[in-house]
Amino acid sequence: MKYQLFRQILTGLFALTLGTTAATEPGAAQSNNKFFCGSRDGVPATIARTSKGNVPIIIWVDRG
């Protein structure tokens, strides 16, 4: 459980870093990033398709 939380935090930080980098690059306003539903390690995720590959943005975890 703690591992999943740690992984979510790292994924969020990575996504934030990627977004910040993309926003400061020339031509960022013309980004062709696409979002889609998928999974990572068998867990549902919202994934961004970027020029550098697929990046999980949100890992959906059921706490119930």
Domain-embedded: residue 46: yes
pTM to 2 decimal places: 0.47
Domain-embedded: residue 64: no
- Res 34: pLDDT: 87
Question: HSE (CB half, 13 Å, CA atoms) of 19?
Answer: 9
Range of the domain at 40: 2-59
Q: How many domains does the chain have?
A: 1
Per-residue pLDDT in tens (0 to 9) along the chain, 64 residues: 566 776 777 677 676 665 555 444 555 555 566 899 999 888 899 999 888 888 899 899 888 7
- How far apart are alpha carbons 29 and 42 in whole angstroms? 33
